[in-house]
Chain A
Amino acid sequence: MSTAALVTDVVTSFKANGRIVIVGASLAGLRAAEALRDEGFAGKLTLIGDEKQEPYDRPPLSKQVLKGWVPADHTLLPRSREIDAEWRLGVAATGLDRKTKNVRLANGDLVPYDRLLIATGVRSRPWFNKEEAKLKGLFTIRTSEDAGALQAALAAKPKRVLIIGAGFIGSEMASVCRELKLDVTVAERAAAPLIGALGGVIGKVAAEMQLDAGVDLRVGASVNRLEGDAKGQVRRAHLSDGTTLDVDVVVASLGSLRNVEWLEGAGLATGFWGVGCDAGCRAFDINGVVTDSIFVAGDIARAPHVLYEYQFMSAEHWDNAVFGARVAAHNMVSLEPERKPHLLVPQFWSGQFGVNIKGTGVQSFGDQVVITQGSVKERRFAAAYGKNGRIVGAVTFNHGKWLEYYTALIEKSAPFPPPPPGYDAPIDAKPLPAEFPAVGAATALPTVVLTGHDPTDRGAAFEPTRRR
């Protein structure tokens, strides 16, 4: 048999009899499983997830579910096809042995794989004080269980809700509180809501939206201490501006942590920002060498992006999970040159205070911003972000139909400020400093992050440079 025929035979045989294990049974895991079957993978497919529920959609949790319109367990994701998989739900993966190619589960079981997809995503960052974190009435939101508990607390008509952190999810929750006619305070350490993701100029618009809706917005304020009563129910919050607030419900909306702990000791390029991988979703080992059998998708993936100086990018976006899963699945059952890249222009949406906020590109990569269309006053506008004379991102407020126009400009690194779209152009479209907080400043991290070129975890084994 020729080498080419041999390789074809290996691929055919793997597709027929191989074993693929997907760790993480949420959006990315499910879509990867479906894509693998679409690609003709007929072998054994196992999905492992630490939550008991089958894959469900998370974006509705901070909106429809909190509002009480949709029950927390009614966001199950539609399927595109049968996937004929073995489901291991309600049991977390706790370890990975790359030598024997086994995933270790919390109950001690070993699940063998030929190819592995890591899609364990993120979890919400817990309240920093462990004792206070036990208080009743203190919530974080990530899972449907979290959302169900918080919804019940809001439905009980608390006297005041305190939301700590005004990123997208914190702001969405504040919006729901106002729609439910609840008194709500938002404490944000930085100068404006959404500032980490969209900068100070647009953050100011977000702040005005909150104030107009009747949110008690405290910017430049953090919460130093939470106080409970004898029954362990949260009653009071002490803010850094010296004020205290009587509260019944506190939501810590402090961003997320990547679920990488189970990979400790596996020798992969894991760290604070997730698992490093190439643009084809193949995981890097700790030395930066690409692996052949381990793939990464969704919130936990961190890959270099051609549009952004090949910096590693990680994106906690719905799109990134769906498209990353498809590319990972394709590459798991394909060889070069059929492999595809996952090079998405990142996009997000957020519904809050009756305004549809949509983004494209990486806003925080820019240092300038210009309002290109519409009217900020009417909260119906588009803004573009630029760096070094190129457009790198855009955001729209109730102007979503124009997002594709800006995406196309970003894809070809068009000049900044961008050419006028010839429609609805504001009279005074001057670029301004975008006012992003300094790297490391205390505020919510944006959901799409460029994480530089360096591994965050310096564990590489350097080749000794001996002269002989």
Chain B
Amino acid sequence: MRIVFDLNRCLGYAQCIPLAPDALKLNGEEAVMYDPNPDDSQRQQVLRAAASCPVQAIMVDFADKQEQKS
């Protein structure tokens, strides 16, 4: 799957990190490091992490979102 963080918008609340710990990491106190193309097995975790973001800074590929709905 494909994601991208808008790191201008990201304010470092780090709500996302524990929801998808294999794809998202914190480097220091507020710098997010992420896997832009996590394995499909990560989809549920990553979608939950994206939904949890208070400022909606995580963009998920539209195709990955559609699979969620179906």
Contact = CB atoms under 8 A, between A and B. Distances in A.
Interface of A: 56-57, 59-60, 63-64, 69-70, 74-82, 318-319, 322, 347-349, 351, 353-356, 358, 380, 398, 400-401, 403-404
B19 interface: no
A77 B30 contact: no
Nearest to A56: B36
Contacts, number: 84
Interface in B1-58: 2-4, 6-8, 10-12, 27-37
Contacts of A356: 12, 28-31
A249 to B, nearest CB: 22
Contacts of B33: 63-64, 69, 351
Given A78-B4, A79-B2, A354 B29 contact: yes
Given A398-B28, A400-B12, A400-B30, A78 B64 contact: yes
Given A57-B4, A358-B8, A400-B11, A76 B36 contact: yes
Contacts of A322: 6
A77 B63 CA distance: 12
Given A318-B8, A347-B8, A78 B31 contact: no
Contacts of B62: 78-82
Contacts of B6: 318, 322
A43 B7 CA distance: 33
Given A64-B34, A78-B61, A79-B61, A351 B2 contact: no
Given A75-B36, A78-B4, A356-B28, 9 more contacts: A70-B36, A78-B62, A82-B62, A348-B8, A349-B7, A351-B27, A351-B28, A355-B29, A355-B31
A59 B30 contact: no
Interface residues of B, number: 26
A312 B12 CA distance: 32
B32 to A, nearest CB: 8
Given A76-B2, A78-B4, A78-B59, A355 B28 contact: yes
A79 B62 CA distance: 6
B2 A78 contact: yes
B6 to A, nearest CB: 8
A74 B12 contact: no
Nearest to A73: B37
Nearest to B3: A78
A123 B29 CA distance: 32
Main secondary structure of the interface of A (DSSP, over half): mixed
A11 to B, nearest CB: 27
Interface of B: 2-4, 6-8, 10-12, 27-37, 59-64
Given A81-B62, A356-B31, A74 B37 contact: yes
Nearest 7 A-B pairs (CB), nearest first? A354-B28, A78-B61, A351-B31, A356-B31, A78-B2, A74-B37, A356-B30
A314 to B, nearest CB: 18
Contacts of B32: 351
A63 B6 CA distance: 15
A26 to B, nearest CB: 13
Nearest to B8: A347
A76 B37 contact: yes
A400 B10 contact: yes
Nearest to A346: B8
A144 to B, nearest CB: 11
Given A57-B36, A69-B33, A77 B11 contact: no
17 contacts: A57-B36, A74-B35, A75-B37, A76-B37, A78-B59, A78-B60, A78-B64, A79-B61, A319-B8, A349-B10, A351-B31, A351-B33, A353-B28, A354-B29, A355-B31, A400-B10, A401-B12
A394 to B, nearest CB: 13
Contacts of A347: 8
B2 to A, nearest CB: 4
B23 to A, nearest CB: 10
A322 B59 CA distance: 13
B60 A69 contact: no
A401 B8 CA distance: 10
Contacts of B59: 78, 80
B11 A401 contact: yes
Nearest to A360: B8
Contact of A349 (B2, B8, B64): B8
B69 to A, nearest CB: 15
A77 B31 contact: no
A34 to B, nearest CB: 9
A403 B34 CA distance: 22
B31 to A, nearest CB: 4
Among A59, A77, A349, A356, the most chain B Cβ lie within 10 Å of the Cβ of A356
